Structure 1
Amino acid sequence: MSDTARLLRELAEAHGISTTYQGQDGSVQTVDDATLVAVLAALGQRVDADGPVGLQQAIDARALDRWSWVIPPTTVVTEHYETEVPVHFLEGETIGVHLELETGTVVSLVPVGDFTEPVWSSGVQRFQTTFRIPSDLPLGYHLLVATVEGETTATGHLIVVPERLTTADAYRPDRGWGLAAQLYSTRSTDSWGLGDWNDLEKLCRLAADHGGDFVLTNPLHATEPLPPVVDSPYSPTSRSFLNPIYLHLESLPEYLGAEAEIRAQIDALGAPLRDRNTSTELLDRNPVLEAKLAALRLLYHHRQDLPERTEAYRRFRDDVGVFLDRFALWSALRRILAPEDPRWEQTRTAGAAEHAELAEQHAEELDFHRWVQFLCDAQLRDVQTRARDAGMRTGVMVDLAVGANRRTADWWLYGEALIDEMSVGAPPDMYNQLGQDWSQHPWNPRALEETGYEAYRTLLRTVLRQAGAVRIDHILGLSRLWWIPQGFGPQQGAYVRYDPQAMIGILLLEAQRANVVVVGEDLGTVEPWFQQELASRGILGTSIVWFEHDDDGPIPPESYREQTLVAVNTHDLPPTAGYLTEAHLHLREQLRLLTRSATEERREFRAQLDQVLRALVAAGALDEIPDGAPSSWSEAEIETVILGLHRYVASSQAVLLSVSLTDAVGDRRIQNQPGTLQEQYPNWCVPLSDDAGEPVLVDALSSLPRVARLLNTVNESVRGAR
């Protein structure tokens, strides 16, 4: 390696960019120089990859970065632990530090001295001392204040986080289970063509009636405020707000209190959409959103004066704060500005005065979007309350996507906290051998630190408002994310590191305050230390039976991690009936997503499947393996294997077990094929169907013997293993 290449890699590592990574096959892969230069530029460090002098200067400057601070912009400490904070000052200055708690209490900090050699930075000599942070501080967001000669000279955020999240502890001696469903695909007779929060409540009652503790649903994040919208719930416009497409309008107090004429108009908007509930056709979000927004505007303009709702709306606005106003302003502007309009950049970076002027110009439209978010928040919270009232210990488990679509609401809301020039994705892995580009902006680690992680904690607080649990997609993103420069392919990215102490700690703080269980999706190439850290901090991981393998074959369930949510499948795989019959291999071959021959893929899959089936028999979860290839099995034989798989994972020590609704009804169709576009495959548009491909409505679930058999089997297996 040349000196220039070595220096470029040293500089990249100094900025938190990993210059190598472990591939899916365990091999060490090296990141391209061009990728490193592009990622460095996105972090504010522009360099010439061929200039060793400039690279060395950049490395030296990076080493002095933190000396330019009087006090660190953010310090994250764990409760009950004493620590110290470094403070920098000039020769001859008398510096002091005190702490202003959330409560307003002021705590003086004690200097403990420091033997660090002074350095020259920005032309002056800077000295360092440290101050002791006591171990008895309360949890929360506090302010460190540095003073020189009694005058405030700098401030920094001090965040005290829990040592461990305790919300899942109740499941350790008394394990639980729940349903997993793609809500939009789960319709009832009165849905408007897509599943809604009334259908989610019905699913909660179904699970509760069979002993279940939660229902895990797809991300419910906000989409565009007008059609057309993106189909993927994992590609929202904002993760901080909710999608009104899931509102059940007929349950709203505003609808129930409306005049008959208004209700009739709304009913007429929904009638043609309700007719689609029994259709086998793919789901279409656009007419549903268009009709619901039209109905909501009717309700908004004709709503009755309901004092309790008016007061609840006021409290909601106060609770969510300025980010609600900014999201409403973005929504109002989005109705008049196309996504590619250059004025977005101007409005994004505008000052408070210009935003206030825009808000005044669009005041009614802003209030409409704020009010819609209030309705979403209130209705989902009602579902959660009723789920707990039905006997569920957790209730609704929401899903937090990795990010929001590029240059949409969150990009506009959070400003420099997101990196504009980069996209998040994944290198080649078991899901997609060509890598993935999710077209989402990553967090800017430097901007997060400089602002006390304000955008991140605001996101968490809004997501956790209405739920009993949260599943965090790709939770490895709290430690590192795969950044892909614009114009580069997903294989040409690099991992950028975040501060896991801060990212995990703030998650624990917000979850503990909201009394929410946290489940992290930690599948794929995840370092064991990270999984161990999550478990030790009270965050559950994820175990999927098909991925629980080592060199000797399937890992026995008794060796699964305790601090996990275990399942037979995931939304990135076909329903189990489809998986057994190789639906995923057929599709990947058809779409040319394989990097080796289809024959090799099938040979490996069938060998792995045979190992799992034999393990089921050995464990007593399955009496015998049906004769012949799975493609020749009868539906009864497939159901028997599905029951056996659930008995098998239920015999593990995992504290939670998730049952896919598609497995309960015998569905076979793939909901999502990672790494594909809608032109290739209709991801996220497949309605819930039975083994014959006929739609299944929520209303019918409680009367289907197959559903009862699986849910009862899981409940008995989990309780029997307690």
Structure 2
Amino acid sequence: AEQLPPGVHELTATAPDGRTARAHLIVAPPRLPTPAGRSYGLLVQLYSLLSRHSWGMGDLGDLGELAAWAGRTLGAGFLQVNPLHAAVPGPPTDPSPYRPSSRRFPDPVHLRIEDVPEFAHVTDHDRVRSLLQRAGRLRETVLQQGALIDRDAVWELKREALELVREVPLGPGRRAAYCDFLAEQGTALEDHATWCALAEVHGSDWHRWPAALRDPRSAETARARGELMDRVDFHSRLAWLTDTQLTASQRTAREAGMPLGIVHDLAVGVHPGGADAWAQQEYFAAGMSIGAPPDAFNARGQDWGLPPWRPDRLAASGYAPFRDLLKALFRYAGALRIDHVMGMFRLWWVPHGHPPTEGTYVRYDAEAMLAVLVLEASRAGAMVIGEDLGTVEPGVREALRERGVYGTSVLWFERDWEGDGRPLPPESWRADCLATATTHDLPPTAARLTGEHVDLRDRLGLLTRPLAEERAEAAADTAEWLDLLARLGMLQGAAGGTDTSSEEAEIQAVHRYLLHTPARLIGVWLPDTIGDRRPQNLPGTWDQYPNWRLPIADAKGRPVTLEDLAASQRLHALIEILKNQVSPSGD
């Protein structure tokens, strides 16, 4: 191994009797390098961040604009977004970014149409004018009329625009770049685009397709691909355009002075009816889905409806699907957040038709998977953040730390659980983590401080105990934290005032506390900067709550544009606290 370059090598040994054996050897650096100094960054769900140029939901143009502003004006070191994986098409499209059709290829719904060079050369000016007018009306229904983000309506408009764009011939340079992308992505892109084309004809669940088309390698599938080659090329082109804009966003972030740039999110699995599950059937366990066992928060356990990778098939391939997935994401990521990173060690498998209580843990070769992760991240010069919240078996966090993978620490969960259960003092936090006040699955800080998150769950019938009891427990939890903040001298009047009991002052104090921990990365939930009360996702709900469809709003629930955020005095007052202690260079 010491004589081999970093990579995954296939070794062959031959016995005297002629028998041969093959194995893969993963040669990887021992760990990822630790970033110099510390930095802070913004956390945002991209779809929720509308600007005056969005077509009804946040897009990659908005991502680049936010990165440029946050890096140059706010001194932010990174910008973390939700998974931008390709979704299973609707209507209705599942709005959750954590149940994608493909994790390897991004979703073209995020494209900024005006930034596609060929769009400026569309000759049907009346169609273009109509598209822009309809996009403006769609944007205003969200920003002015309080409508929910309608992903399907946005995609209907963008697809119409992209059909027009495709009629514009690519210039020689653009054509060469597209051909290079096709060659680099190879069979994986061909499979993805073929699935997209077949889904237009037969629906978005490949299990319901004609039997011969359920096999991506069948002669019938090859024949259908030929017949639909025009549509296969269309979807390949969309993947290229989206990859191009994602790469541009990362370049913009780095040019703005961000040492990390864009932190992308890797979902824990894929939709069973989607492109990855169709194209990589041999790597997924049929008849199984992943979830979580019963715990103190959910006595019935959880079934996430996502098929698990087979550890034996992964190992036999030298972890090729995992390697290819990481390579694809690191193309445009300064860092990668891995959702439920514990899944690299074990996953709770639930047989179809059975409750989660009848599932079992299935182990993966964590040493091999971590080696692949470190190998690909090192090649890309990127760092990795693992979402290690919830039930974490002993040894997992230690193994991740040894390989240089950061963890995730959320303020409200950091208590002395082995002692008196009180809030953990800042000096007792770990350093190799991303420290935050909240996440996309938790209440915004303003809602937690005011107890509004309990009232919301009560209105939706989600409480398992009397409302008064839930309110009292939440208030006691918050009071303990506020008492600690006050004793540490972190509660000060907001924006130069003297009222230390105001919600804005308390949110500022929470972030002062994060700065006093040794955490090398500090994350600020962007909606917290303007007092947004509404969670982007409320676990345990489906149609009772508009998960993944809310624009960022102020404390009164009024949608706020990117331009409004940039001018917000409340945001700048909070960020000033962070800028005084953390520089964009990570010092």
Q: Which amino acid aligns with 1:317?
A: L
Whole-angstrom distance in 2 between the partners of 1:317 and 1:152: 39
> Bigger shift: 457-466 or 175-184?
457-466
Selected match of 2:541 from 676, 691, 697? 676
Q: 1:643 to 1:267 in 2, by over 3 A?
A: same
- Which range is displaced more, 454-463 or 246-255? 454-463
Q: Residue 47 of structure 1 corresponds to which residue in structure 2?
A: none
> What are the residue-to-residue correspondences of 1:501-516 with 2, within 5 Å?
501-516=367-382
Which of residues 410, 427, 430 is equivalent to 1:561?
430
Q: Deviations over 1:634-693 (max 9, x none)?
A: 99810100000000011111110000110011100121111221x221111111100111
Seen in structure 2, the aligned counterparts of structure 1 residues 335 and 536 have a Cα distance that, compared at 3 Å, is same
| Structure 2, gaps ≥5 residues long | none
Higher strand share: 1
Q: Which of 380, 398, 415 is 2:246 aligned to?
A: 380
- Cα pair 2:346 2:361 within 8 Å, conserved: yes
Distance 1:457 1:322 in 2: 15
Counterpart of 1:685 in 2: which secondary structure? Answer: coil
2:111 is aligned with 1:247? yes
Pick aligned residue for 1:644 from 509, 512, 515: 509
1:561 counterpart letter in structure 2:
R
Q: C-alpha offsets along residues 324-343 of structure 1, whole Å, 9 cap, x if unaligned?
A: 00000000000111245633
Equivalence for 2:576 = 712
User: Is 1:470–1:519's contact at 8 Å kept on the other side of the alignment?
Assistant: yes
User: What does residue 494 of structure 1 align with?
Assistant: 360
Contact 1:185–1:194 (8 Å) recurs in 2: yes
Change (3 A) 1:269 1:636: farther
For 1:245 and 1:433, the matched residues in 2 are separated by 37
- Which consecutive aligned stretches of 4+ in structure 1 deviate over 6 angstroms post-superposition? none
Counterparts of 1:216 and 1:135 in 2: how far apart (Å)?
36
**Hey, what does 1:522 align to over in structure 2?**
388
Counterpart contact for 1:183–1:195, Cα < 8 Å: yes
Residues 350 and 536 (structure 1 numbering): CA distance in 2 closer, same or farther, change over 3 Å?
Answer: closer
Write the distance in 2 (CA, Å) between the matches of 1:150 and 1:270: 71
Which of 94, 98, 114 is 1:234 aligned to?
Answer: 98
C-alpha contact (below 8 Å) 1:192/1:277 kept by paired residues: no
| Alignment partner of 1:685 is 2:549 | yes
Q: CA deviation at 1:594?
A: 3.7
Q: Which residue of 1 aligns with 2:227?
A: 361
Give the corresponding residue for 1:181. Answer: 44
Secondary structure in structure 1 of the residue aligned to 2:35: helix
Structure-2 separation of matches of 1:645 and 1:213: 20
Query: 1-side partners of 2:176 and 2:17: how far apart?
Result: 44
Structure 1 residues 372 and 350: CA distance shift in structure 2, 3 A: closer
Question: Which residue identity lines up with residue 439 of structure 2 in the other structure?
Answer: T
Cα shift at 1:555: 0.7
CA 226–257 in structure 1, closer or farther in 2 if over 3 Å, else same: farther
Query: What SS is found at the alignment partner of 2:282?
Result: helix
Q: Match of 2:189? A: 324
Structure 1 residue 391 corresponds to structure 2 residue 260? no
What does residue range 48-447 of structure 1 map to in structure 2 within 5 Å? 134-148=1-15, 153-166=20-33, 169-171=34-36, 174-208=37-71, 209-225=73-89, 227-259=91-123, 261=125, 263-264=128-129, 266-279=131-144, 280-300=146-166, 302-339=167-204, 342-343=208-209, 346-351=212-217, 353-429=219-295, 432=298, 434-447=300-313
1:618 and 2:481 aligned: no
For residues 574-589 of structure 1, what are the structure 2 equivalents within 5 Å? 574-589=443-458
- Does the 8 Å CA contact 1:348/1:415 hold for their aligned counterparts? no
Separation of aligned partners in 2, 1:656 and 1:294: 41
Shift of 1:424: 1.4
Cα deviation, 1:87-123, whole Å, max 9, x if unaligned, reads xxxxxxxxxxxxxxxxxxxxxxxxxxxxxxxxxxxxx
Equivalent-residue separation in structure 2 for 1:483 and 1:589 (angstroms): 31
- TM-superposed CA distance for 1:528, in Å, is 4.1
Look up the SS of the partner of 1:144 in the other structure: strand
Report SS of the residue matched to 2:582: helix
1:360 shift after superposition: 0.8
1:572 partner letter: D
CA contact 2:100–2:270 (8 Å) conserved in 1:
yes
User: Deviation at 1:434?
Assistant: 4.4
What's the secondary structure of 1:562's corresponding residue?
coil
Deviation at 1:369, TM superposition (A): 0.3
Cα deviation for residue 497 of structure 1 reads: 1.1
**1:695 maps to amino acid:** P
Matches within 5 A, 1:690-701: 690-701=554-565
1:425 is paired with a residue of what secondary structure? strand
Contact 2:88-2:204 within 8 A present in 1 as well: no
**Distance apart, 1:544 and its partner CA:** 0.5
The 2-side partners of 1:708 and 1:636 are apart by 20
Secondary structure of 1:513's counterpart equals helix
Distance 2:493 2:360 in 1: 47
- Find 1:464's aligned residue among 330, 344, 352: 330
Amino acid at match of 1:142: H
| Alpha-carbon separation, structure 1, partners of 2:312 and 2:491 | 53
Aligned partners of 1:602 and 1:315: how far apart in 2? 58
SS at match of 1:335: helix
* Contact 2:7 2:27 (8 Å CA) reproduced: yes
Deviation (angstroms), 1:436: 2.6
State how far apart, in whole Å, the 2-side matches of 1:474 and 1:311 are.
39
Range with greater deviation from structure 2 (473-482 or 524-533):
524-533
Q: Assess if the C-alpha contact under 8 Å between 2:492 and 2:500 holds in 1.
A: no
> Does the C-alpha gap of structure 1 residues 714 and 429 become closer, same or farther in structure 2, counting only changes over 3 Å?
farther
Instruction: Give the C-alpha shift of residue 593 in structure 1.
Output: 3.3
Q: How far apart are residue 344 of structure 1 and its match?
A: 5.9
Query: Which runs of no fewer than 5 residues in structure 1 stay unpaired?
Result: 1-133, 626-633
Range 134-143 or range 181-190, more displaced: 134-143
1:583 is aligned with what amino acid?
E
Q: Which amino acid aligns with 1:643?
A: Q
Q: Which moved more, 1:543-552 or 1:152-161?
A: 152-161
Supply the AA of the counterpart residue of 1:660. Answer: W
1:460 Cα deviation after fit: 1.5
Which deviates the most, 483-492 or 501-510? 483-492
- Post-superposition offset of 1:152: 7.3
Q: Distance in 1 between matches of 2:526 and 2:84?
A: 18
- 3-state SS in 2 of match to 1:525: coil
Shift of 1:584: 2.7
Superposed displacement of residue 699, structure 1: 1.3
Residues 422 and 486 in structure 1, CA contact (< 8 A), matched pair in contact too: yes
AA at the equivalent of 2:190: D
Q: TM-score, normalised by structure 1?
A: 0.76
Cα distance in structure 1, aligned partners of 2:398 and 2:20 = 40
- Single out whichever of 482-491 and 610-619 deviates more from structure 2: 482-491
1:594 and 1:432 mapped to 2: Cα distance? 12
1:477 maps onto 2:340 in alignment: no
CA contact (8 A) 1:204 1:395 kept: yes
1:118-150 CA distances to partner (integer Å, 9 max, x unpaired)? xxxxxxxxxxxxxxxx43321102111122459
Deviation at 1:223, TM superposition (A): 1.1
Distance in 2, Cα, partners of 1:635 & 1:357: 70
1:387 is displaced (CA, Å) by 0.9
- TM-score using structure 2 length: 0.93
Q: Distance in 2 between matches of 1:585 and 1:528?
A: 32
| Separation of aligned partners in 1, 2:189 and 2:162 | 18
2-structure distance, mates of 1:138, 1:228: 48
Change (3 A) 1:313 1:350: closer
Partner of 2:321: 455
